[in-house]
């Protein structure tokens, strides 16, 4: 089943050889790396939106070392329990979680605004339909998706409601209150707790909360992994440079990741 939607005229896209086409003559070529760019000029707010290449590289290196595997496994377990056919991963990045989720479904679409992240993702797994696109206009058809996932990514509520089938699911992962606390303590004079519950409140008018859990992952990081973790988080550019440099001097650093996992069902 073709899930993709033309971002210009909102009609369905069909794949002909290596080009996605709609009935109104708009066409989008599949790049040699295997992704399609559906982020049209009129939706762009900057030349290279999304994560920087440095941040993508740091995240790939850090995640491939397996430090966030407990979260990846927890998400896969949830998807298996839902027994669904297709999913849309919003803000898929370089595809670490999307790759694992794809094995549980018949169709998997990964979308991210950062072209360099999607390029990296597309090289890893040809079974996923990788798209450069924006959450403001998710490039999939109305009521076509069984599960939307958003892991540490924005939650474009109206668009998610549009693309989900009736009674379909939304899985959200966000930092739990204590997430990477030791690192934030080292980077900032005052550490604010994350507030995962605000997501649940914002969604409560359109979704029922079916399940929530906190997944913990204790880590002992070497210097290279620690630098990658700092570089891939938003804390990197919010912290004072001297605090970041002091933290990066550590040969080893102990901290715990805490992730809040929510599963919602559309009313």
Q: What is the DSSP string of 98-153?
A: HHHHHTTSSEEEEEES-HHHHHHHHHH-TTSEEEE-BTTB-SB-TT-EEEEEEESS
CA distance 212 to 261: 5
- Binding residues for Zn(2+), by number, are 6, 9, 22, 26
Question: Which among 51, 16, 21 has a CA at the least distance from the CA of 132?
Answer: 51
- Binding residues, by number, are 6, 9, 22, 26, 68, 94-95, 179
Q: In what order do the strands lie in the sheet with 19-21?
A: 14-16, 19-21, 27-29
- Binding residues for S-adenosyl-L-methionine, by number, are 68, 94-95, 179
> Quick count: other Cβ atoms within 10 Å of Cβ 10?
13
Strand partners, 35: 130
Q: Which pairing describes strands 164-175 and 145-151: parallel, antiparallel, or unpaired?
A: parallel
């Amino acid at each position: 089943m073709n899930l993709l939607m033309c971002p210009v005229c909102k009609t369905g896209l069909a794949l002909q050889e290596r080009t996605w086409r709609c009935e109104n003559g708009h066409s989008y070529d599949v790049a040699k790396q295997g992704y399609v760019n559906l982020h049209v000029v009129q939706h762009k707010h900057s030349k290279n939106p999304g994560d920087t290449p440095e941040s993508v590289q740091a995240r790939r290196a850090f995640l491939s070392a397996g430090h966030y595997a407990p979260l990846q496994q927890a998400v896969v377990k949830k998807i298996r329990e839902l027994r669904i056919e297709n999913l849309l991963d919003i803000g898929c990045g370089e595809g670490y979680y999307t790759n694992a989720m794809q094995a549980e479904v018949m169709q998997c679409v990964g979308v991210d605004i950062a072209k360099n992240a999607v390029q990296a993702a597309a090289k890893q797994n040809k079974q996923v339909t990788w798209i450069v696109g924006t959450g403001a206009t998710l490039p999939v058809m109305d009521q076509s998706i069984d599960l939307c996932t958003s892991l540490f990514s924005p939650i474009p509520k109206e668009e998610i409601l549009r693309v989900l089938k009736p009674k379909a699911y939304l899985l959200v992962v966000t930092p739990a209150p204590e997430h990477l606390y030791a690192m934030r303590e080292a980077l900032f004079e005052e550490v604010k707790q994350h507030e995962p519950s605000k997501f649940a409140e914002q969604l409560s008018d359109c979704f029922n909360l079916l399940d929530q859990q906190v997944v913990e992952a204790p880590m002992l990081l070497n210097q290279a992994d620690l630098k990658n973790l700092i570089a891939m988080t938003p804390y990197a550019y919010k912290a004072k440079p001297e605090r970041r440099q002091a933290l990066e001097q550590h040969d080893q650093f102990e901290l715990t990741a805490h992730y809040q996992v929510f599963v919602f069902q559309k009313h």
